[in-house]
Amino acid sequence: MSISNLNTQQDSPIITLSQSQLDEWFDQRLDEKLREKEENRTPSLSIIATKGTMDWAYPPFILASTAAALGWDVSIFFTFYGLNLLKKNLDLEVSPLGNPAMPMKMPFGPQWLQNIDMNIPNALMGTIPGFEKMATAMMKKTTENKGVASIEELRSLCLEADVKMVACQMTVDLFSYEQDEFIDEVADWIGAASFLPVAKDSDVSLFI
């Protein structure tokens, strides 16, 4: 008897199949069920955000908002300096001193001037008063000129897309923070032991 006829003869009182035919039918059904499960499965992304400067705030929020827009389940675990990204007041700065490969570009002036990568030595950056304030202002102006969303806007997009934002309770205790310093949308206050199983089961897990 053909395997394809198995479902069309359900009214027959007795259906006789060989062992090989049964094996083939079960393999076929298993493949169909696995394919159906894979097609209906929602991908997941877990991000561990550890840095709290303006430039390093972009990667987790851009990746999270993009994945959420694709319909993925997204969770971000904010720990150590990354916890600053959950504060109500996002007063973030750029730290070129900690990013020696970071090119400095002028956000205004003639195009030839804006195209120049100004690789300023760390020794010089560390001795110029107000250098980080200047670098932050230049970065904000550059993102504005290029039409890039601000960190506040990206964070709001993530929240609107149901990205789960989780705070590291150990870091809160370590730096003597109060929970009311952070946005109300923080989904949970947990430790690494609680988040790692989530990361383990995610399709994509990133440390930033």
Contact 132, 97 (CB under 8 A): yes
Query: Residues 109-137: what's their mean pLDDT?
Result: 65
Q: What is the helix (H) or strand (E) element at residue 21, kind and residue range?
A: helix 19-40
On the question of pLDDT at 1 being above 50, the answer is no
On the question of pLDDT at 17 being above 80, the answer is no
What does the alpha-carbon distance between residue 132 and residue 93 come to, in Å, rounded to a whole number? 7
Query: Residues 139-155: what's their mean pLDDT?
Result: 87
What angle in degrees, to the nearest 10, is found between the helix axes of 54-69 and 151-160? 30
Residue 116 three-state SS: coil
pLDDT at 65: 96
Comparing 190 with 40, the larger pLDDT belongs to 190
On the question of pLDDT at 28 being above 60, the answer is yes
Comparing 28 with 180, the larger pLDDT belongs to 180
Q: What percent of the chain has pLDDT over 90?
A: 50
Query: Residues 97-107: what's their mean pLDDT?
Result: 61
On the question of pLDDT at 117 being above 50, the answer is yes
> Per mean pLDDT, which range of 83-87, 110-114, 182-186 is the poorest?
110-114
Comparing 116 with 33, the larger pLDDT belongs to 33
Comparing 122 with 171, the larger pLDDT belongs to 171
Domains by residue range for the chain, with CATH? 44-207 (3.40.1260.10)
Residue 204 three-state SS: strand
